[in-house]
Amino acid sequence: MEKGLQKNLTVIANILAFLNILCLMATGTVMYWILPPGSGGGLGRGAGLGGGRHLLDGDRIETFLGWGRHDWRNLHFWLAVIFVWLLALHLIVNWPWIKHTFFSKKTNPQCQP
């Protein structure tokens, strides 16, 4: 891979992975502290995006910014899927470093005792 392209890809992948993990933390925080289990919207009954279409009588579904727990969990899940792909891209663009560090037989003379 051309050096300039590799450098640009590395920077872009790093920035995207950083923003992605911030969003994962934010959506995880919403599920853990703001809409904990029991806040409703499970079993596909949905609030927010689900619109509460299949609400059963007496169901109470809490939302945050218009989304129920089910919606936040969907977003959290897809962000995690994207994170795995970004991680793969991260390994690819840094493959020369990994190869050199772990698989090269050449030793760095500066590291000799």
User: Which residues lie near ligand HEM (CB under 6 A)?
Assistant: 21, 24-25, 28-29, 31-32, 37, 73, 76-77, 80, 83
- Residues whose CB is less than 8 angstroms from the CB of residue 19 and which lie 6 or more positions away in sequence, other chains included: none
Nearer to ligand HEM, 6 or 89 (CB): 89
| DSSP per-residue codes, 21-81 | HHHHHHHHHIIIIIS-TTSS-TTTT-SGGGTTTTPPTT-----BTTB-HHHHHHHHHHHHH
Nearer to ligand HEM, 6 or 45 (CB): 45
Q: Which residue is nearest to ligand HEM (CB)?
A: 28
Nearer to ligand HEM, 25 or 98 (CB): 25
CB of 56 to ligand HEM, least distance (A): 20
Q: How many CB atoms lie under 10 A from the CB of residue 46? A: 22
Nearer to ligand HEM, 69 or 93 (CB): 69
- 96-100: list long-range contacts, CB under 8 Å, 24+ apart: 96/6
